[in-house]
Structure 1
Amino acid sequence: MPLHMASPLSLLTIAITASLPSIAQASSVDNLPSSQSYTGLMFIPNAQVIDTGDFNLSFHQGVPHKNSIASIDDWFFGAGVFKGLEAGGRIVTQSYDCNSYLNSDCGIRDLSMSFKYQLPFVYDYTGLNLAVGIQDLGGAGNHFETKYVVADKTFDALKLRLSAGYGQSNLDFGIMNGPFAGAEWQPLSFMQITGEYDASQFNANAKLFTPKGLLPYGAQLSLDYELYTGHQNSDQTVWGINAAIPLLGYGNSQREQLSVDHQQQLKQALTQQLDKHKSSSLQGLIAALKNDGFLNIQVGQRHDRLIIALENRRYNHNPMDGVGVALGIIAANTGDDTFADFANTAKITDQKKQQNIELIMLTNGIPMFTVNSDMRCYREFLETGDNCDSMWFSGYNARIAFTRTEWLTNKENNGFGRSQVILSPQLAHRTATEYGFFDYSLALSTNLYTPLWQGAALDIRHTLPISESDDFKSGEIWENSAYDSQIDRIFLHQAFKLPKNIMTQFSGGYMYGDYWGAMNETNWFTPNGNHSVGFKVSQFQSKDDDQSISDTDDKGVRLGHYLYSKPEWDWQLELQAGEFWQGDTGLKATSSHWLGDARLSASYLTSKAQGASDYEDFLSLSIAIPLTPWRDMKPGYVQVRGTDQFTYTLQTRIGTDSSNYLNTGLGGSNDLQHNVARQYQGQNRLTQAYFDANIQHLRNAYIKYVKDVEM
């Protein structure tokens, strides 16, 4: 239901009251949302963008539409994708449950996407920030399309920012259709006053917000309220609320500082842990790893080097977390006595003074990644954050390294048969359609995943419906997409690590309620992991109610892909081409940006439906986040945890068509939860290039571990 006019006034009072203890002069002008889908003033943008790694959610009332500032609701979500770029999706709606096909009074309901980019290097040469942007990109019904270029200048001494630019737009009253300008003044750390010329009239509003550092987790809340508008035909005072919060894990690859007062206790706990190496032993090291829940632990030797193999199933946000905790425990438990024990066990007569170890990370018993380092150097890295020159990573030769190792111990914490019960929400939704603002079917997914022998696992998933909207009920438009209470997936997987860094997995079984068949995924990574090529092939047949196999509804995919990763930019670009699940053929390009352990992706799809003569084009935005604790339950013979990746996607049609009818079935690829990229490659992050670009993440993971176990 839309909020009422009493809400903003109440929120203004609350915000002022909450902020009174923090009143102080602002050191700069905060970047806050406009009432449109970009950072800015009221109707116009400035040249600022959402902070990298922040996720924003805004609600506004008052939208230029049909020759009025209309009483329409405006929802916007966006994120700072990387330095200088913000991207987001916007829903403008006059009603929430009204069916536009049955009722002509439903009013507008529009889904669109927007981008804004602050150009680099301009400020260095001119002292001005310069940005370009587009609102309501693509589609047939571009009610709010706006293209603009804007520059701004901040005067810190005056707590003032001035903006000016030029736009072309479809907005009513000529808003943003021509030259525009504005000023933002921030006299207090919790308040801004803005005034603007929107290319048509003058407007002013006030913004109240929580000062930075007041709320936990780096969050910020803000409220804006119209003080004046020159637009005469105004049915609604423009107001809005906004929440901004850094995404999960953002900053985990930045150097953790332990010198400030409130971190001294943590620093002491870290030192206490690392001092254990002074009285360590080989059995003590194995016991420490076993006690934290690492599986398939073995100790061996190759060319007089201490080799440790183990498997992580507890730290599921990022592959670096498990590696970082394991390396930290090893560093804290390998000293002179440990290496003396190792020399005696391995019958090494000429023990070297170096404390070199090689860690081999396993997944389902398959060697996937190796880390080499001198433990003296690595302990110093953990204490100070200074990079360790002796450390290097490789995913290319892990299989060879494992097979050429002479193992001195039997496996500890054997992973055979240790089942994971993975709980996750499942959400099917239709957003901003002619049938409603948000239609959904929500279910609880319970996935039983049981590793068997090396590379093999049994994968069973059950869905339990929790709630659904009217249009997903029986007899309604989306009933075929609603979740049922059923076992919707039974698979047996068998994966192999082949020579030359090729990973392949064969899967056979049952999916989507009534399809039986098999699939193969094969990926090849270059030695450093910057490039990957691969393919996926599957064939499934539908089983009729009489248990017979029908060949009239065969489905499958034949897709090739290329992946380019640039970890220094937290960026991946994937190109897919071939035949998709519904029989359509086409090309899909996906740009993914890692904001910590969350991933924001934008995809362009051009695909031709089976039997059609024309291609259809779509643009989608998605966000994927882990929904499980950073340190999951210790793996026993049954481990209950959340999912490492829950994805929410919005898709809109683009192009020059005169129609904008719904089609959400194109571009599907019947992805499995336990596919090669997620199960074995850490969502394509278990590479030398990714580790080289995020070395501090290893230290931060161990510091977080020490905080969990000691404080």
Structure 2
Amino acid sequence: MPLHIASPLSLLTIAIAASLPSIAQASSVDNLPSSQSYTGLMFIPNAQVIDTGGFNLSFHQGVPHQNSIASIDDWFFGAGVFKGLEAGGRIVTQSYDCNSYLENNCGIRDLSMSVKYQLPFVYDYTGLNLAVGIQDLGGTGNHFETKYVVADKTFDALKLRLSAGYGQSNLEFGIMDGPFAGAEWQPLSFMQITGEYDASEFNANAKLFTPEGLLPYGAQLSLDYELYTGHQNSDQTVWGLNATIPLFGYGSNKREQLSVEQQQRLQQALTQQLDNHKNSSLQGLISALKNDGFLNIQVGKRHDKLIITLENRRYNHNPMDGVGVALGIIAANTGADTFADFEDTAKITPSTKQQEVELIMLTNGIPMFTINSDMRCYRAFLETGDNCDSMWFSSYNARIAFTRTEWLTNKESNGFGRSQIILSPQLAHRTATEYGVFDYSLALSTNLYTPLWQGAAIDIRHTLPISESDDFKSGEIWENSAYDSQIDRIFLHQAFKLPQNIMTQFSGGYIYGDYWGGMNETNWFTPNGQHSVGFKLSQFRTEDNDLPDTKDKGVRLAHYLYSQPQWDWQLELQAGEFWQGDTGFKATSSHWLGDARLSASYLTSKAQGANDYEDFVSLSISIPLTPWRDMKPNYIQVRGIDQFTYTLQTRVGDGANYLNTGLGGSNDLQHNIARQYQGQNRLTQAYFNANIQHLRNAYIKYVKITQ
């Protein structure tokens, strides 16, 4: 039962008074989750948001529902998508395995999405933070819909934050339905006391948490517990557990400071590596690249410039990692002696010009990207972090640059036939449906990918079931979506890089265990890579023509992609015919937080033979499930997957939230153009220009690992 005290305002007054003697030791007030779908106090929000790049997972008990603070579980995951914006998904449930169609006492089971945005510039002019937000966005059964505007101000000297706002909501007791206000007081670096008026009654809770910087990887854990509530019909004391951690690779473009005392050893190791250029040679440079696992290494000349080409299959989180390590190794192994060797080998006149090098990055032997820099300038960049003015990037001329180069050495570490075995979980799931909170089929995917000649590869994938919930078992509703032990994909891919920065790939073979056919993807990128248009066409014939529910399938989709690397943002628009024969439109907004990607999609599509369009909103997170530095490529290389994606989807704009039949599918291949050749559309001039420090940080990380 809740602990009832005379007045929450008395608690707040005592708390503020107690803080006065310790003003000199004051600190900022931490931003912690509420028991709702937003950063805040207990039931009300403040104007703070999850830190950009932070991922939050919360579990709470006690939810305003059906005229009480009910004994219901509340799961919430959210992230700081970009500066000022947090977004997340929420599951509220009274039971976990209960089938609502067969049993009458399952209680509520609700999946919803929420967003909160802290308006920019307001603080600069007013000294107040101002935020707007929506809880339970869209959907049909909006049990917890809440719209609000809230302002707050933090008094650092008092360790106090005051919040006030106005809301409209469907919550019980009139919570958040009108004016609300609250205070957060942080007397200790690990504790907060909050008091609030939730537009109906007063509440108070206590929050215990790990101080920032205590746990590794920037993680923070917290516990919150209700001290008081004025709501008389309360079946559950509200309490919760929360965990926050920065997403993979977030901050990889921030300038790393090497001058602090605890990093002196790293500074010495970096200097020692870069000093190798004083006693270097052309063969030593090739050996250094070969020893780190780069493939298809060649050295050539063009207009007396040193050209180096190579392929990265070891650093698979981000295309900049492979480029950063390769450039760092080149900078550490190209000095006066190296250029003297080059001039002698190339039979060119010795030059006193800058030590300029052009690096051409290959994928499956196709020249995809070029980087130019003076090595003296680049070494200074690695040592200090000051940008190198001589550095420039291009994908537009990579093919021409490669064909116009006169190669002086034979290819080292030929990539032909060097197979990758890519291990990854595969997860089919249904979340917060009438059949259960989480039904799933989990399998291990083993993908054999073998490059052949330039642009060609064999792609074979096997799935091995590991576990599944009851509703995915034989005879149950989702048995057709459960994974089987089978080879579910056999493809031969052939990609070409065409003039004018056009990339195309033809693929033919066997997919989904039932369909034979082929497909083509073609993309065109502008020279700086900010805009791309393309299409995908496919046609597959089923092996099981005798079954009444099977038919030939394919996609006919056009797309446009806009990338804004300064905001770590991409917007993709798709339209046409999807895999199930439905036609419609899909818009996806993706936000890169380091090497993790958060995406929100809106789909409107009309099923084949239907009269009306169906609308859906989805939220997904993609993370790399492989080490930053994979196994050294040999004739067999075992590694994880570069992007594993988990998606939640809910229906919007309809009178009933019934299950859909897979509308909006596009039979994406793992080894498509965007993923295999374009680094998830990040291998562009615009992306590299916006993330220069990532190159340096990649080499520093390499030095840390190898020193």
TM-score (norm 1): 0.96
Match of 2:571 among 545, 570, 573: 573
Cα distance 1:94–1:25, how it changes in 2: closer, same or farther (>3 A)? farther
Q: Which residue of 1 aligns with 2:156?
A: 156
Letter in 2 for 1:659: A
Hey, what does 1:586 align to over in structure 2? 584
Question: Aligned letter for 2:584?
Answer: G
Question: Structure 1: how far apart are the matches of 2:26 and 2:545?
Answer: 69
> Given that residues 62 and 69 in structure 2 are in contact (C-alpha distance below 8 angstroms), is that contact kept between their aligned partners in structure 1?
yes
8 Å CA contact 1:205, 1:225 repeated in 2:
yes
2:602 is matched with which residue? 604
Which residue of structure 2 lines up, in the alignment, with residue 117 of structure 1? 117
Q: Secondary structure at the residue paired with 2:551?
A: strand
Q: Deviations over 1:585-619 (max 9, x none)?
A: 00000000000000000000000000000001000
- Where does residue 11 of structure 2 map in the other structure? none
Give SS of 1:553's match: coil
Checking the alignment, whether the CA contact within 8 Å between 1:544 and 1:550 is kept in structure 2 is no
For 1:21, the equivalent position in structure 2 comes to none
Deviations 1:635-660 (A, max 9, x none): 000000000000000000011x2211
The 2-side partners of 1:205 and 1:93 are apart by 23
CA distance in 1 between counterparts of 2:145 and 2:467 reads 35
8 Å Cα contact 1:492/1:508 also seen in 2: yes
Q: 2: CA distance between counterparts of 1:676 and 1:551?
A: 32
Opposite residue 537 of structure 1, the aligned amino acid is L
Name the CA shift for 1:106/1:659 in 2 (closer, same or farther; >3 Å).
same
Which residue number in structure 2 is paired with residue 13 of structure 1?
none
Question: What CA RMSD, in Å, does the superposition of the two structures yield over aligned residues?
Answer: 1.3
The one of 598, 610, 615 equivalent to 1:617 is 615
Distance 1:210 1:709 in 2: 33
Aligned to 2:276: 276
Counterpart Cα distance in 1 of 2:541 and 2:376: 58
Identify if the C-alpha distance between structure 1 residues 551 and 130 changes in structure 2 by more than 3 Å, giving closer, same or farther: closer
The structural deviation recorded for 1:545 is 8.2
Q: CA deviation at 1:98?
A: 0.3
1:398-413 equivalent positions in 2, closer than 5 A = 398-413=398-413
SS in 2 for 1:274: helix
- The SS at the match of 2:535 is strand
Per-residue CA deviations over 1:172-208 (Å, capped at 9, x if unaligned) read: 0000000000000001000000000000000000000
Q: State the secondary structure of the residue aligned to 2:640.
A: strand
Letter in 1 for 2:253: S
2:691 maps to which of 689, 694, 702:
694
* Contact 1:53–1:80 (CA under 8 A) maintained in structure 2: yes
Q: CA deviation at 1:68?
A: 0.3
Q: Which residue, 643, 658, 663 being the options, matches 2:660?
A: 663
Aligned partner letter, 1:617: D
Provide structure 2 residue ranges, at least 5 long, that are not aligned to the other structure.
Answer: 3-23
Other-structure match for 1:96: 96
State the 1:353 CA deviation.
Answer: 2.9
Unaligned runs of 5+ in 1: 6-23
Q: Which residue of 1 aligns with 2:464?
A: 464
Cα offsets for 1:373-413 (capped at 9, x unmatched): 00000000000000000000000000000000000001000
Equivalent in the alignment of 1:557: 555
The corresponding residue for 1:319 is 319
Q: CA contact under 8 A between 2:118 and 2:132: conserved in structure 1?
A: yes
* Correspondence for 2:377: 377
- Secondary structure of residue in 2 paired with 1:682: coil
The answer for the alignment partner of 1:138 in structure 2 is: 138
The AA in structure 1 aligned to 2:636 is V
Offset at residue 451 of structure 1 (A): 0.0
Once the two structures are TM-superposed, the CA of residue 354 in structure 1 deviates from its matched residue by: 1.2
Q: 1:632 is matched with which residue?
A: 630
The one-letter code of the counterpart of 2:586 is K
Partner of 2:387: 387
Q: Which residue of 2 aligns with 1:654?
A: 652
SS in 2 for 1:651: strand
Aligned to 1:66: 66
Q: 1:542·1:551 contact (CA, 8 Å) conserved in 2?
A: no
Asked if the contact 1:25/1:187 (under 8 Å) is kept, the reply is: no
The share of aligned pairs that are identical, in percent, is 89
1:537 aligns to what?
537
Instruction: Tell me the SS of whatever aligns to 1:440.
Output: strand
Contact 1:294-1:313 within 8 A present in 2 as well: yes
Match of 2:678 in 1: 681
How far apart are residue 664 of structure 1 and its match? 4.8
Measure, in 2, the Cα distance between the counterparts of 1:631 and 1:593. 24
Distance (Å, rounded) in 1 between the aligned partners of 2:115 and 2:231: 27
Helix, strand or coil at the partner of 2:354: coil
1:615 partner amino acid: Y
Q: Give, in whole Å, the separation in 2 of the partners of 1:276 and 1:241.
A: 51
Alignment of 1:426-575 (within 5 A): 426-544=426-544, 553-575=551-573
Equivalenced residue count is 686
2:209 aligns to what? 209
